[in-house]
Structure 1
Amino acid sequence: MTRAVRLLAVGATAALTLTAAACSKPSSGTAGTTGAASASKSVSQDKKLSIGFLGFAKANSFAQAGWAGVQEYAAAHNASATFLDANFDAPTQVNQLQDAVTSKRYDVVIIQANDGTAMVNPVKQAIAAGITVVAEFTPIGGRYDTAEPQVPGTINIIDPPTVNGKGLAKLGIQACKAANVSKCQVAYLQGFANFPLDTARTKAAVDDLRAGGAEVISNLVGGYTQDSGRTAMQNLLQAHPGVNVVIGSSQALEGAAPLAKGKKIQFIGNGGSTQAFAAVNSGAWFAIYDVPEKADGAKAAELGLDKARGKNVPTSMATCDLTKFACLGTKQTLAGVTADYSD
């Protein structure tokens, strides 16, 4: 996260299992409320507020899922919302937030950070200007292994990239066991090369796969589109025709999987679109890492608006703690669950 690029997860990028109501309670790991989280400017409850959504990219299906949740919640709770499209470019996103601080156009900003480290200073500027800041899905800061706030005063609804990578690896080891081979060959298709969250996720996934006994035979860039996934799969099959398990963004696998017709390859997608759900339910894919992204967007809007209106809100929650199956979506765990976005 499909991620002009459509998603990530990340991709990555990357996925939706809960209703917004199901996301309304904080996880057991929630940091609770703090003065920093509740002390932004308080406004009249009947004043219409504005939200700026700094999503990964407007053409990205995963970002669009979060955006849909933001829009729906804002419309029902006396607020407007605007998508600020950085198209996966970190410097553009930094400039967008700096412009928002200067213009004072938004009461709340919800950020899917393309580069968490680059966003630290502009986020501090936004908080100092009285803007409520919500980090959604990706961290704001240099650590990619925690959902806890790295910038005081932010609200964080995070799926740490390393947690995502470890989850993909766990599913990969399960798929290796299902493949029942003496030496399981796993190909991990990275989202973007040199993308900070992808780099952290990839390392976590590859390290855990190897620790679990798998032979990681490639680290190709699969991207977040069917076309990029198809190209990566063509290269993979030429170099490693005996591959047993392929892991990548769900969008990439939608392009990659058809090339494996007649081969016994287990696919694991990162992202829970309707297409990914259908692939798992049909048995074409082994599993998906399923993030409740539309619900996350709605929750981000809820907490952001509540804080801007002077209410106490939790400072952090880990996205996958809000699901009953820790985002690990197999045919069994997805039974009765419906995806709420499409690639």
Structure 2
Amino acid sequence: MRFVAAVATVAAVAITATVGAGAQPAAQQAKVKAIAFFGFAAANSFAQATWAGVKQTAKKNHVSAKFFDPNFNAQTQVSQIQDAITTGRYQAFVIQANDGNAVIPAIKQALAAHIAVVAEFTPVGSNYATIKPPVRGLVFVGEAPVWNGQSLGKLGIQACAGKNPCNVAYLEGFKSLPLDNARTDAVKKTLATAPNVKLAADVEGGYTQASGLKAAQDVLQAHPDIDVMIGSAQAIEGAQQAVKTAGKEGKIKLIGNGGSCQAIAGVRDGTWFATYIIAEKSSGAKAAQFAINKANGKKVPTSYDSRKLQNPIGTKANLGNFKAQYCD
């Protein structure tokens, strides 16, 4: 899963794609003419996978779609949501929040304007152990970060089977982010349930190959006896280079958090022990369909657990024919 989290100050760019907004017979005319997608950043592969799903659903429903790009800037994203409300052009929003708390006022404003709003991937609010939306009328498609952390911890325990002690390094995303802290806490608590597992290192690994490489190098220098390394898929891609350089390829089990093509390939060829998968294009498509249906007066669930789209426990035995829906 690309667990993106960054702070940028680059000016936002709006990316537009009109998909299949052709005329329909009067009897089939629906209320929704346009849907807006507020993603993490246009340059982000994970958000592009979500956008591909949104466009797919929009085309299927003969609706135009537009990607508002805040380039990871939370305040820019809030301003874009507010501006989109003011235009009156959109009947449905899919919001992939950079900051789940910052968007709450704008979401309430959109709902008051009778715009259907679906939050995708990032939970809205500060309760990271539930997928129940904290705002009445809001729909959420995704999973709780605490669930994600617990699963990563369980994969770590599985990788440590038969080894005592088993030294684990966790490359956290960003220590400054509450969402990452909630996930990290869940990883640690889960690992602590196994008597043979020792959390030897907990460092910031970030969400790029470069940051993962640097974090892994530091960990291996301080703890050359690491047996398992867990982190974002991007960080583990970088860590894989550090492990190889240190001559420990095959000796350290790697676990990623994300279903990129690199992560899936790593599990399939045995260089990774496992990765945690999110079928992000499918999730984007589901979120867009809920938003369109809700705007058209149809009943939709208040929340949808995205783990239903694909078994997230990406061990080699579980992958089956799954194809990655984005590449880092």
- Give, in angstroms, the shift of residue 48 of structure 1: 5.7
Which residue does the alignment assign to 2:41?
57
Alpha-carbon distance between aligned partners in 1 of 2:317 and 2:4, rounded to the nearest angstrom: 23
SS in 2 for 1:116: coil
Residues 234-258 of structure 1: CA deviation (Å, up to 9, x unaligned): 1111111111111111111111102
TM-score (normalizing by structure 2) = 0.87
Which residue does the alignment assign to 2:189?
207
Alpha-carbon distance between aligned partners in 2 of 1:100 and 1:116, rounded to the nearest angstrom: 18
- 2:307 is equivalent to residue 320 of structure 1: yes
Which residue does the alignment assign to 1:97?
81
- 2:128 is equivalent to residue 144 of structure 1: yes
Which residue does the alignment assign to 2:205?
222
| Structure 1 stretch displaced more, 301-310 or 203-212 | 203-212
Letter matched to residue 339 of structure 1: A
Q: 1:203 to 1:88 in 2, by over 3 A?
A: farther
Match 2:216 to one of 217, 224, 233: 233
Structure 2's unaligned 5+ residue stretches are: 7-26
Alpha-carbon distance between aligned partners in 2 of 1:124 and 1:59, rounded to the nearest angstrom: 28
- 2:235 is equivalent to residue 252 of structure 1: yes
Q: Which protein has the larger Cα radius of gyration, Structure 1 or Structure 2?
A: 2
SS in 1 for 2:297: coil
RMSD: 1.9
Residues 163-190 of structure 1: CA deviation (Å, up to 9, x unaligned): 111111111110111xx32111111111
- Give, in angstroms, the shift of residue 44 of structure 1: 7.3
Alpha-carbon distance between aligned partners in 2 of 1:122 and 1:317, rounded to the nearest angstrom: 22
- Give, in angstroms, the shift of residue 206 of structure 1: 1.5
Residues 269-292 of structure 1: CA deviation (Å, up to 9, x unaligned): 111111111100111000010011
Moved over 4 A (4+): none
Alpha-carbon distance between aligned partners in 1 of 2:5 and 2:144, rounded to the nearest angstrom: 10
Letter matched to residue 311 of structure 1: K
Question: 1:96-245 residue pairs with structure 2 within 5 A?
Answer: 96-177=80-161, 180-213=162-195, 214-245=197-228
- 2:261 is equivalent to residue 266 of structure 1: no
Report percent identity of matched pairs.
Answer: 51
Larger relative contact order (Cα-Cα within 8 Å, sequence gap ≥ 6): 1
Alpha-carbon distance between aligned partners in 1 of 2:112 and 2:258, rounded to the nearest angstrom: 35
Match 1:308 to one of 292, 295, 301: 295
Residues 208-238 of structure 1: CA deviation (Å, up to 9, x unaligned): 1122232112221111111111111111111
Q: Is the 8 A contact 1:9 1:271 kept in 2?
A: no
SS in 1 for 2:47: helix
Q: 1:10 to 1:202 in 2, by over 3 A?
A: farther
Letter matched to residue 329 of structure 1: G
- 2:10 is equivalent to residue 8 of structure 1: no
Alpha-carbon distance between aligned partners in 1 of 2:147 and 2:98, rounded to the nearest angstrom: 17
Which residue does the alignment assign to 2:63?
79
| Structure 1 stretch displaced more, 128-137 or 212-221 | 212-221
Alpha-carbon distance between aligned partners in 1 of 2:47 and 2:227, rounded to the nearest angstrom: 31
Structure 1's unaligned 5+ residue stretches are: 2-6, 12-42
SS in 2 for 1:172: helix
- 2:318 is equivalent to residue 333 of structure 1: yes
Q: Is the 8 A contact 2:132 2:140 kept in 1?
A: yes
Question: 1:32-43 residue pairs with structure 2 within 5 A?
Answer: none
